[in-house]
Amino acid sequence: MLKLVSCKYEGVPKFKTLEIADFGTMTSLTGPNGSGKTSILKVLQHTFELIDRHSLADNITSKSDWFSFTSACLQFSGAPKDLKHFEGYFASRSQDEVLLGLELFLAEDRFEIKKVSIGDKSISFLSTPCKMELDKLKIAKIQISEKLDSIKKELATRIPPQLQNNPVAYQEENLRRERLRQELNPMENQRGEIESQIALLAQINVKFDDQERSIARAEAEDFLSHIGLPRVQYVDTQKLYEELVPKMIDDLMRLKKKSDRELKIFEEKRGALGKFIQAKVDVFEDEDGKNTLTVNGIPYTKLSSGTQISVAFFAGTHANESDYLILWDEPKNGLHPTRRVRLLELMLEDKRQFILATHASELTPMLMNPNLKAYRCEADSYEDHTQVGLSVHAIVNRRDAFVTLEAMGVNPARILFTANVVIWIEGPTELLFYRHWLVPRLMQRGLHEGFHYTFMQYGGSLIAYLEVADESGNQNAPAEFKSAFDLLSLCRHPIIIVDSDLKEEPKNADPRSFLKKGAVRILEAINQLNADRENAGLFNWTRGREVENYLPEFATISAIKSVWKSYINYESQLKLDQIQIERYDSFEEKLGRHFIAHNVVDKDRSPRGRSLWGNSNKVEMMRCSLNAPNLKETDLKWECSEHLWELENFIAKVAEK
């Protein structure tokens, strides 16, 4: 199996020379927007699509100037599948490891493969005519032959009796047949001329080292088609879910139904997908005879958007055969950082070769493995500053890696150090909620996320590991922080929001009496901070049990309808419009009791659909709740507007400093 080792292009727009000297099993092209990453993928795609025609020379009916070039030199390493007629010349056998070179030229509307080399031996193809010319002649020969056969067949038939009894008609038919006979010779001559031209074009002149000779074009093109050059797939992230997931499911079902060997492969692939998304996966034929995939018993079409994207990306790494070269533009889109790392692991386990264009540092494994390569793409102004030139640079040492990380925007100061305020919230559910309601408020004041403020997630119980350490004025401060994560090292004005987790109205209004120990410690630290520096930090807690309690019931019901497609079957039975979620209720427990009371349950008497509308899918529930029709801030419960105003006011005051 042949793998791409290097490429060198001339004539690619904006590049003086486009050269990548060392492709790995996975190669990442990284850099800012407009630096040529996608252009490189498109040039490679264009090249391999031309090679895949298995023609030495042909016309190009349509092409983009942006992805064009004048010459390309590609090198591959590995074992050719079949050297066909030239095995003896190359003194090599199929399955021998070789270094194979290919030279290809483009001129206006045609391309031509000029040279193939294996080791120190080469074949040069001299002035090969376009395949289209040969195809046109072959079509013309077929058309003439069909017409000749038709005439000969007609002349071989007897004149019908009814015409023989009519002297005038009989004479006209004889004259018509005579004219047809007279057409035969010119047509035979024309066909002969075409056959001569075909024979001429079917032979090409080649150069074996220093010796020229003529060979059949078909032999050379047969050699190209069987040598085992990789095919290319350009992965369009937008089409992953629509096309590759159904294909993957069908492929898995075919494996499942075959021999023990294929069944073992099926189990391996199913296990790999389960490991990737950290869930139980099954593939089977449903009652309607349709192949389907479920995750923890839920059809993949009903999964949360993040899990659907993850399944689609898995399909993108397990589609096609191992001889494909995968060109993937921005595989990170929509994928959580932890799953990007798992996606990288999948690619490393895959037998195919990957070339990625990406901004994600997780998919740019610099200096971690000799088989993994990374290149930095740059856009530079020429000396006259009137044009932009593109270039590619290998990342070979730590300095290259640091320069690349800066170009990728991996610079904490861009996100945190220059932000006036960091809002620390528990997790993605809270992030969705506060971003939805706070951002519009702050935008009206001209305050922008990422500069005036930003969000960070501390992860629930991990608050116990946070520290607010301010040593200003404290000469006896320890040399090292007690905690591994000091909030003030990231930003001098933190906001910390925690869930009260109350189950009933507190007997004491002092939050230190009902908040958890870790939260109380942060509260006291913020109070001390504000005593030393006015308006330095803000500690807040939800006015209800959790952030979900702020939502009106109609928004929660709307979310249930969105995430649980079977809701419509139980709508009249459930009577959810009667439910009231109080200040200190757990929304999942309250809904669960309501489902049980109305007998909407599974066989084990657990609430039906809870995996979709309960805590295990609370992020998607929050997303759908916030998209409930006609939801307004005034609909929020338990003094939420006052809570939001307090946050807004703090950020505005810090900005005014």
Predicted confidence (pLDDT) per residue in 67-115, tens digit: 789 999 999 998 888 887 787 778 765 566 888 999 999 887 888 999 9
Report the pLDDT value the prediction gives residue 483, as an integer from 0 to 100. 41
* Pick from 642, 644, 611, 581: nearest CA to 280: 611
Alpha-carbon distance 522 to 511, whole Å? 12
Q: What's the pLDDT score for residue 54?
A: 86
What's the order of all strands across the beta sheet hosting 494-498?
A: 453-457, 421-425, 494-498, 538-541
H/E run at residue 39: helix 37-51
**Residue 445 and residue 648 in contact, taking contact as beta carbons nearer than 8 Å:** yes
Rounded to 10 degrees, the C-alpha dihedral 398/401/403/405 comes to -140
The pLDDT of residue 326: 87
Please tell me the predicted confidence (pLDDT) of residue 402.
64
H or E segment to which residue 181 belongs: helix 167-201
Instruction: Give the DSSP letter of residue 91.
Output: T
Under DSSP, the state recorded for 433 is H
Instruction: Give the span between the Cα atoms of 609 and 399, in whole angstroms.
Output: 53
Q: Tell how strand 98-107 and strand 466-467 pair up.
A: unpaired
**HSE of 482 in the Cβ direction (CA atoms, 13 Å)?**
10
CA 409 – CA 406 distance, rounded (Å): 5
What's residue 631's pLDDT?
93
* Non-local CB neighbours of 324 within 8 Å, separated by 6+ positions: 230, 231, 232, 233, 352, 353
Low-confidence ranges of the chain (pLDDT < 70): 62-66, 92-96, 237-241, 305-306, 316-322, 332-341, 360-369, 381-387, 398-399, 402, 405-419, 450-451, 460-490, 657
Structural tokens at position 87: 């095995």
Question: Rounded distance, CA 640 to CA 161, Å?
Answer: 102
Residue 599: φ, ψ to 5°? 60, 35
pLDDT for res 469: 46
Beta bridge partners, 215, equal 204
What pLDDT shows up at residue 487?
Answer: 65
Tokens standing for residue 102 = 């290919």
